[in-house]
């Protein structure tokens, strides 16, 4: 997810060579994780079910839609449609598993119910624009509305103390707002008119504003209480950083606000830096374990 959204952001800002490099890394990671997902499903179903009950299981859907969106932007519509079919097929199963195990106080990963749903909305809207398949805009709109409902439900279960104590996945709360804003911006590019277009525009701007507010709050919390040690959940920080950059940049293009476009570029540089920092931290942690 983190690598795929960085690839999308680099593509939108015309860093195509770097974008393709990040795309290759994202595709490779997706293939490895998809193989692991399949092997566990076929050979160890008890373990698969126990892991499918947790919110991180929905990264399978979210990552597939992010990769599919990048492939659609590349013009590889057949593979992008294949990704959409996989995501739509797996989404209800994993969503049902996760929601039935929700607790009263959940970490930021709870917002993956929204992220995965909005990922389908973004991919649907992207394919609709690229392939002139207007019916996919309706699919995207349905999932966008559903994603907003799930975002509200997730917030009701979110433990706000995670803002100060979370190990990285608290940022998924901002990521859910960011991908919701991105989906709204992508849908604005469709042929909605009148009241529908106005409502969609207003809601998209509200979501983007909430996203940026959440971004600032989480960033201040990081400075107030630094958590520099590597944790795999830090990749769940990189994704919202990248998604916020893409949401801001895309929305700027749709509603024609140059200042937002510049902000989107700045936020993308922040996301790339965070990706590189997290990768170095991962390598250092692996070397340290190897020495032990």
- Tell me the torsion sign for CA atoms 24, 286, 57, 59: negative
Residue 34 has pLDDT above 70, yes or no: yes
Q: Which is nearest to 72 in space by CA: 111, 119, 113?
A: 119
Gyration radius of the chain over CA positions: 18
Find the mean pLDDT for residues 55-64.
Answer: 90
- 254 or 40, greater pLDDT: 254
Banded model confidence at residue 50, pLDDT cuts 50, 70, 90: low
Q: Give residue for tokens 């709109």.
A: 141
Residue 11 has pLDDT above 80, yes or no: yes
Banded model confidence at residue 171, pLDDT cuts 50, 70, 90: very high
- 28 or 43, greater pLDDT: 28
Residue 48 has pLDDT above 70, yes or no: no
Banded model confidence at residue 287, pLDDT cuts 50, 70, 90: confident
- 143 or 232, greater pLDDT: 143
pLDDT at site 290:
63
Q: What is the pLDDT of residues 157-168, one digit of tens each?
A: 999 999 999 999
Q: What is the pLDDT of residues 245-264, one digit of tens each?
A: 999 999 999 988 878 999 99
- 188 or 36, greater pLDDT: 188
Q: What is the pLDDT of residues 183-239, one digit of tens each?
A: 999 999 777 778 888 999 999 999 999 999 999 999 999 999 988 888 889 999 999
Q: Which is nearest to 203 in space by CA: 189, 230, 182?
A: 182
pLDDT at site 39:
78
Domains in the chain: boundaries? 1-287
Q: What is the pLDDT of residues 82-137, one digit of tens each?
A: 999 999 999 999 999 888 888 778 999 999 999 999 999 999 999 998 878 888 99
Q: φ, ψ for residue 25 (rounded to 5)?
A: -65, -40
Question: Domain 1-287 belongs to what topology?
Answer: Glycosyltransferase (1.50.10)
DSSP code per residue over 73-138: HHT-HHHHHHHHHHHHHHHHHHHHHHHTT--SSB-GGGGHHHHHHHHHHHHHHHHHHHHT-THHHH
- 267 or 191, greater pLDDT: 267
| The two three-digit tokens of residue 45, written as one number | 């179903």
Report the b/e string of 38-55 with b at 16+ CB within 10 A: eebeeeeeeebeeebbeb
């Amino acid at each position: 997810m983190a690598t795929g959204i960085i690839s999308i952001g680099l593509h939108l800002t015309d860093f195509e060579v770097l974008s393709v490099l990040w795309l290759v890394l994202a595709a490779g990671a997706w293939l490895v994780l998809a193989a692991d997902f399949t092997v566990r499903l076929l050979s160890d179903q008890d373990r698969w079910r126990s892991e499918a009950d947790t919110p991180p299981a929905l990264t399978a859907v979210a990552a597939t839609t992010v990769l599919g969106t990048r492939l659609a932007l590349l013009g590889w519509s057949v593979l992008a449609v294949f990704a959409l079919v996989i995501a739509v097929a797996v989404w209800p199963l994993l969503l049902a598993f996760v929601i039935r195990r929700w607790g009263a106080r959940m970490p930021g990963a709870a917002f993956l119910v929204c992220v995965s749903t909005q990922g389908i909305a973004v991919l649907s809207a992207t394919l609709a624009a690229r392939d002139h398949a207007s019916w996919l805009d309706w699919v995207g709109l349905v999932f966008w509305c559903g994603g907003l409902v799930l975002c509200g439900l997730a917030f009701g279960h979110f433990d706000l103390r995670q803002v100060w104590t979370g190990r990285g996945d608290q940022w998924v709360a901002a990521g859910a707002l960011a991908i919701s804003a991105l989906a709204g911006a992508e849908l604005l590019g469709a042929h909605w008119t009148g009241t529908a277009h106005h409502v969609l525009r207003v809601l998209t701007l509200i979501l983007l504003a909430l996203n940026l507010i959440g971004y600032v709050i989480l960033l201040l919390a990081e400075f107030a209480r630094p958590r520099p040690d590597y944790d795999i959940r830090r990749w769940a920080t990189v994704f919202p950083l990248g998604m916020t950059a893409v949401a801001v940049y895309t929305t700027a293009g749709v509603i024609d606000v140059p200042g937002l476009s510049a902000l989107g570029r700045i936020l993308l540089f922040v996301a790339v830096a965070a990706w590189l920092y997290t990768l170095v931290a991962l390598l250092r942690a692996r070397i340290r374990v190897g020495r032990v």
